[in-house]
Amino acid sequence: MTRPLVECIPNFSEGRRPEVIQAIVQSIRRAGAVYMLDVSSDADHNRTVVTFAGPPEEVEKAAFVGIKTAAELINMNEHQGVHPRFGAADVIPFVPLRDVKMAECVRIAQRLGERVGNELKIPVYLYEFAATRADRRNLAQIRSPKFQYEQLKDAIQTDPNLTPDFGPAIVGDAGACIIGARKPLIAFNVFLNTDNVEIAQKIARAIRASTGGFAHLKAAGFLVKGRAQVSMNLTDYHQTPLFRVIEAIRREAQRYGVFIESSELIGLAPQAAFIDAAEWYMQLEGFTADQLLEVRIAKAEAEAAQAPLAQEEPPLPQEATSAMINVSSLDQSRRPSAFVEAVAKDKALPGGGSVAALAGALAAALVQMVAGLTVKKPRYAEKHEQMKTIVQRAESLRERLLDNVVRDVDAFRALMETVRLPQDDPERLTLLVQRTFSAAEVPLSVCQQSLEALELSAEVVEHGNENAVSDAVVGAHMAYAAIAGAAFTMKINLIGFEENEQAIAMQEQVNRILRSAQELRDNVLQKAMVRTGLSSS
């Protein structure tokens, strides 16, 4: 069985600072069980298009975190770029990909818009299928080269037509968000062999729907990388094929004595659009997509998966074990020794906090492995959807816990540097308090994430592939060790802050996690004993 899939393609107003782009992308990746499909940045547009997909609830959660991160890191008062924009998280569309109707994407857009408006205090405008007003269905009617952030900032408080769907009628440093639901589109740019941007603008006017050109085509002219660019969105490539638009641009360019130098695809696009273009340019007769090697292979694999033999589980032949790795014979280059050797050195870093985080990451990895082995087996078909979700959650946990391996080192190093400051430094005490809590927050995060890994291990022990129960149990032990070690590390970091309210709250939280972890671990072991036959009750 397949899972419902929704695609989200947020456009962020940042294309020049890699560290900001990376922070936004990482926040999305860690926020939910989603597939990060593509990241495309352009410095002239000063814009990044991110594409990710996943189950509806996970995509909605990840989109909110991406918007929040962008709002924290991007100041629209300092932003300059050739592309029109309203805000830090400028446009956030949702597209139904598989087993999801457009109505569900509309509901996602509405819920997200309400949350962004209420929690982040950012004005939100709904567009396309999610629009609440006819004049907001078309994105170009909301935001345009002549009406963007600077104009909205002044007009939103006085023009009733600009009252947002959600959030305040005040534009702050993060600007506004345009959130919607739409069909797949193709973002496609054509570069001309000239720096005369007026030619690109004239061509855009000639081909776009709003000025009498092709239906389902939006276009504008910009100067990008020293070349005139015709920037386009094809909102329905079935009705207005890509090749037809390119040929129109070619003919219009000839009128001005220029030609197409190159083109580029922004983000992702449906394969069918390019098959159509190849078929038209190559003048293929009787061509079908089934003649593509990759398509034929995928079809054959799908058919094989439905064959009767694929539903059976024959016993594992003894000779098959010869393919398994003999750990004792691994050469040194394949041993995971670098981190262990770093810990073994007579230096403070990396230390116990990082090791606890790594233990949690290994726990999540084992959970992911067991869930993945369950999904592969037809006999567990009724558990496949549950296990696929666990695979995604465990992968996200593993990445976040691995990040905490490094974060623990960085936080402790910063604390030690503060301790070494001169006693008479006026900022020393403030920095000492701040960095002490920063150092304590990392192991607390490890405890929270490892508890989630422990909860997932309980699920795979009970419902996962019975041949991998022992792996799940090891994962549970690793998760508990991570929690116990990280909890002790956090408590050590907070010595001397026993009367501090924040420290008290953190101590209470970690104690609750420890109690839950103890109960969970015992429950996992009991279930594993019964399921493996080591105990009858």
φ, ψ for residue 324 (rounded to 5)? -75, 145
| Distance of alpha carbon 407 from alpha carbon 403, whole angstroms | 6
| Distance of alpha carbon 126 from alpha carbon 441, whole angstroms | 37
| Distance of alpha carbon 526 from alpha carbon 537, whole angstroms | 8
Which of 79, 83, 384, 463 is flagged as catalytic? 83
Q: How many helices (H) and strands (E) does the chain have?
A: 15, 11
Transcribe 233-279 into DSSP letters. Answer: EES-TTTS-HHHHHHHHHHHHHHTT--EEEEEEES---HHHHHHHHH
| Distance of alpha carbon 36 from alpha carbon 522, whole angstroms | 36
Q: Of the candidates 461, 459, 457, 509, which has an alpha carbon nearest to the alpha carbon of residue 478? A: 457
Cα distances (angstroms) measured from residue 78 to each of 17, 20, 198, 381: 13, 14, 27, 53
| Distance of alpha carbon 51 from alpha carbon 78, whole angstroms | 25
Only one residue has tokens 């109505």, namely 103
Q: Would the CA dihedral through 376, 380, 382, 383 be positive or negative?
A: negative
Q: Of the candidates 375, 371, 376, 531, which has an alpha carbon nearest to the alpha carbon of residue 455? A: 371
| Distance of alpha carbon 169 from alpha carbon 153, whole angstroms | 9
**Residues 264 and 225 sit within 8 Å (Cβ to Cβ):** no
79 catalytic residue (yes or no) = no
Cis geometry, peptide bond prior to residue 422 (ω within 30 degrees of 0): no
- 346's tokens: 């007579």
Only one residue has tokens 């909860």, namely 455
Active site residues: 83
